[in-house]
Structure 1
Amino acid sequence: MAQQASVAATSPMGWNSWNHFAERVTDADVRAAADALVASGMRDAGYIYVNIDDTWEGKRDADGVIHTNEKFPDMKALADYVHSKGLKLGIYSSPGPKTCAGYEGSLGHEAQDAKTYAEWGIDYLKYDQCSFGDVIKQEAGDDLSKAAAMQREAYEKMHKAIQSTGRPMVYSYCQYGLYAVWKWAPEAGGNLWRTTGDISDNWDRMTLIGFSQAGLEKYAGPGHWNDPDMLEVGNGGMKKSEYEVHMSLWAMLAAPLLAGNDLSKMSDETREILMNKDAIAIDQDKLGKQGSRIWAEGPLEIWSKDLSGGKHAIALFNRGESALSFESAQQTLSQFKALRFRNVWTHAEARFDGKNITIPSHGVMLLKEY
């Protein structure tokens, strides 16, 4: 039943409309995002999915076929345009009767909608719990086992519908980590699944979500990924070092890299973070391993990630409010003393040679072995 790993052999990279445009997104915005992915070099760096989030939906016709609203006059033409740029197009729906923004969901129309998406040329579906939570509550009440079964059945139903079209689509579960989704999503066809509630463009929320992924690493791998939500890099709510922590942590997690900023107004700083080749290489490593937390003391954490070719990536995070020393981590770091690393953000060579390491507040040292 599981999706083929080749559909998402590495975790998806691209752009999603919600974080910046929310309900205002239009056909023109999506075309402009596609243009910007190409012009900025992001497409060539791996960002290939252009994902339309909620509010594209119009009404169903007398036969139940979903149509777009006035903001998206011709979805097939939009898909053709995105494809002409060497990119792929994503869309959004819900297993419930309504989406989060109150538009038409797919409940009772799963096969019909999947067929429509395939005819349009859609490559990626984000399927958002939303009103299906009310359906579960009404039918299952406090029966958690029944609720979990209903959740799986709803998501699996759309998976079967996608399969029946014959068109490969990345299938993204957006149901906030409910019912231990990571334990069953791969067998139910999910390529990625949200493990948390929504991210916000601030340090506290980003770190709460990102660092809570420790312990879920065994569920991730080629074709099936833990998803701690989209990137906020470039949206203005955090400073440079905090966005470097954000990108570093997502890379160590082998998390999807879905930019959520206005691509037409990227600063050089934002571009350098999103397009850092070493950070992307860590995230997209073909081994498909999610990193693990190997040491923690107070606000300090060290994460390690196995890379292909027997290489490693190491990240030293300081979540504290002042610069702090990793002196008490010397024993943990000593296992890497014979290895040569490059600092992803400074590009300098680095070794664990017994010297004390100090990391600034809300900062990270991300290292890739070479």
Structure 2
Amino acid sequence: MKRIATEVSKLSDDELRSLLTAGERPTLKTIARISGLAITTVSRAMRNGADIGTDTKELVARIADAIGYVPNRAGLRLRTGRTNVITLVVPAESDLLNNLSKLTSSIAKEMRGTQFHLNVLPWFPDEDPLRPIKYIVETGSADAVIFNMTEPDDERVAYLLKKKFPFVTHGRTKWADQHAYYDYDNTAFIRVALRRLAKRGRKNILAILPPRNQNYSQDMVRGLEQESEILAIQYRISKNVDSDKHSDEIQHWVTRRLDQSPEIDAVLCTSSKAAIAAIVAIEKHGRKLGQDIDVYGKEVIPILNMFRENIIVEMEDIGPAGRFLAKAAIQQLQDPDLPLMQHLEIPVDTSE
């Protein structure tokens, strides 16, 4: 068997495909026949079994990819109760500058080569965010779920904890000690931002934050309250305009605030879209970016400094978040007795 496997490993993808018979639908038996391995060995290799060597796993994965093997989900579920599907539930947004595309890509790349497959399920702002979560659990259409835009008292988390269904969140909740998560320390982000602005002599900050019901927005408010007192900085937050609003709304709000409060000398933006809208308002107002007023922007796609050189930018790298979320979900399925994976990314002031 080892001799056959060694010989097969030297074949090209085209040569592997040529070993299929006419009209044959690739199955585990097909992979076993081509590789010379036992079906049980192939099956364990596909499930990333600890007792299977790396070379064998790589050979099985390569043959499966070359011949177009696709697991029979219905059969798999009947045999094991599993689907080998992890679903990413995300809001259906039209903002091309947000983090969802990069997050999805990094999760998919981390899952590549495993027995797990990624499914993306959107939910819309006008519907109950719990609906897609309940659908997954009640239909058994996935083995685990990943989602973002968490709230402190998140009903999705409460539901999944009650159902004991594997999940990971991009963001924390008040139950963070009970579930897997990856989060960015947004209180620290605000602290770094205000200190950098204070070094530039800025004392009156206009802040454009995410929707206030979300946990990371409340972390930012906490950072503003704490650090502004230490630095003797004044700040303003809109109750009606947030970083998720349309660019025109953000631009009009910044324009009104600059008219009403000409002492404003910095705008703190928590998204690229908000930063660009703020800059348009500032320039139309006749203010000089980087001279009598600053814009401090948080971004996940490096674009702001290509738009204007004088923007102060904080980059949040979503790639590690996606990879961590995928690993955390897979661990719960493969090694449920291990401690839940949790990580808080803390930004530092790289200007020092």
Structure 1 and Structure 2 fold alike (TM over 0.5): no
Per the normalisation by structure 2, the TM-score is 0.25
Per the normalisation by structure 1, the TM-score is 0.24
Instruction: Give the greater-gyration-radius structure (CA).
Output: 2
Structure with a larger share of its residues in helix: 2
